[in-house]
């Protein structure tokens, strides 16, 4: 089994540890990992801000970078939702606006091959116990794009529940958005921070040492709020917990 890693721009620049964790985890599970160097950003910041045309070159780049890869795995529900949910729409609109059918063909070709990490593990590899060890109290925040956009459902929690040593605690109001929302975080900073503060408070109230998520963009926001507040709660990406073993603690 071979899979191409779509590490995402946020992880590449700010959270390479998450990418490293995915590589370790997949290799431990017997998957050969490729990293097509031509990859970059999926274009979601541009698209969500109303600059759809600016997202088009990034769609093309992403599709070309992963051409021919049967499985494309990404540790981000948000970027998976972009490729699966919005790429086809961008392509369709480009065609309707008279710019040809090339983008649409790219989008339709790539979308079904892209998997969010927990989907790839549970649905493609068929594993929930990945042999991880992580002796901490963890609350899981299901980011909106994974929860509602992709319908990840219980997959991430099932993976966490199988981790040895890990105590999974219920996060009150788990399904509510953390307030990041891309440029929302800076365009509506007061509401964004209020939402983040409530999420951070929920994690603390749940008695979690670690607030785990599947999207580092949300976690950057939450981590910034937790640290500003001097909270002992840390944010850790799901991949880093799953990559940890007794022999090689990771996160």
Partner 1 sequence: MTRAGVHGTDGMHGMRGMRGTQGADGAQAAFLGMPAFPEAARRAVHDPVLRANLRHATHTIRGRRARAVAELADWDRLRAAGKAIKDHTLRHLDRYLVQLEESVTAAGGTVHWAVDAAEACRIVTRLVHATGAREVVKVKSMATQEIGLNEALEEAGIASYETDLAELIVQLGHDRPSHILVPAIHRNRGEIRDVFAREMGRWGRPAPDGLGDDPRELAEAARRHLREKFLRAQVAVSGANFMVAETGTLVVFESEGNGRMCLTLPETLISVVGIEKVVPTFRDLEVFLQTLPRSSTAERMNPYTTMWTGTAGGDGPTAFHLVLLDNGRTDTLADAVGRQALRCIRCSACLNVCPVYERAGGHAYGSVYPGPIGAVLSPQLRGTGSRVDASLPFASTLCGACEEVCPVAIDIPEVLVHLRERIVQGGPATREGVRVRIRPARGHTAERAALRAARLLLDHPGALRAGERLLARARRLRPRRLPGPGRAWTDSRDLPEPPEQPFRDWWEQRERQDERRKP
The partner residues of 137 in beta bridges, in order of sequence, read 167
Contact flag: residue 61 with partner 1 (CB under 8 A): yes
Among 4, 6, 25, 43, binds partner 1 (CB under 8 A): 43
192 binds partner 1 (CB under 8 A): yes
Residue nearer to partner 1 on the CB measure, 132 or 219:
219
**Backbone dihedral region for residue 3 (phi beyond 0: left; psi -120 to 50: alpha; all else: beta):** beta
Contact at 8 Å (CB) between 144 and 179?
no
If one counts every other C-beta atom within 10 angstroms of the C-beta of residue 207, the result is: 12
Helix axis angle for 189-205 and 216-228, nearest 10°, is 80
* The total number of residues written for the chain in this structure: 251
Enumerate residues 6+ apart whose C-beta is below 8 A from 222. 141, 178, 180, 196, 199, 200, 211, 213, 235
User: CB-wise, 177 or 208, nearer to partner 1?
Assistant: 177
Touching partner 1, residues 128-187 (CB under 8 A): 144-145, 148-149, 175-177, 179-187
188 binds partner 1 (CB under 8 A): yes
1, 2, 13, 205: residue in contact with partner 1 (rule CB under 8 A) = 13
CB of 186 to partner 1, least distance (A): 4
105 part of the interface to partner 1, by CB under 8 A: no
50 binds partner 1 (CB under 8 A): yes
What's the sign of the alpha-carbon dihedral 237, 145, 188, 179? negative
Interaction between residue 194 and partner 1 (CB under 8 A) = yes
Residues that bind partner 1 (CB under 8 A): 7, 9, 11-17, 19-20, 23, 35, 37-38, 40-41, 43, 45-55, 57-58, 61, 89, 144-145, 148-149, 175-177, 179-197, 220-221, 223-225, 227-228
């Amino acid at each position: 089994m071979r899979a191409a890693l779509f590490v995402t721009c946020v992880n590449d620049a700010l959270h390479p540890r998450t990418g490293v964790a995915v590589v370790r985890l997949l290799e431990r599970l017997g998957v050969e990992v490729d990293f097509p160097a031509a990859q970059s950003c999926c274009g979601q910041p541009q698209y969500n801000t109303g600059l759809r045309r600016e997202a088009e070159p990034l769609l093309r780049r992403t599709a070309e970078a992963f051409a021919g890869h049967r499985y494309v795995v990404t540790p981000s529900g948000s970027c998976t939702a972009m490729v699966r949910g919005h790429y086809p729409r961008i392509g369709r609109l480009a065609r309707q606006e008279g710019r040809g059918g090339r983008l649409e063909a790219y989008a339709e070709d790539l979308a079904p091959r892209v998997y969010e990490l927990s989907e790839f593990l549970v649905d493609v590899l068929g594993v929930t116990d990945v042999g991880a060890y992580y002796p901490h109290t963890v609350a899981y925040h299901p980011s909106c794009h994974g929860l509602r956009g992709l319908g990840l459902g219980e997959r991430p929690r099932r993976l966490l529940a199988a981790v040895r040593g890990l105590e999974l605690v219920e996060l009150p109001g788990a399904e509510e958005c953390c307030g990041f929302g891309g440029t929302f975080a800076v365009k509506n900073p007061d509401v964004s921070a209020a939402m983040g503060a409530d999420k951070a408070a929920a994690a603390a109230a749940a008695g979690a040492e670690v607030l785990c998520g599947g999207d580092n963009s949300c976690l950057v926001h939450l981590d910034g709020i937790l640290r500003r507040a001097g909270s002992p709660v840390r944010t850790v990406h799901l991949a880093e917990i799953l990559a940890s073993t007794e022999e090689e603690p990771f996160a």
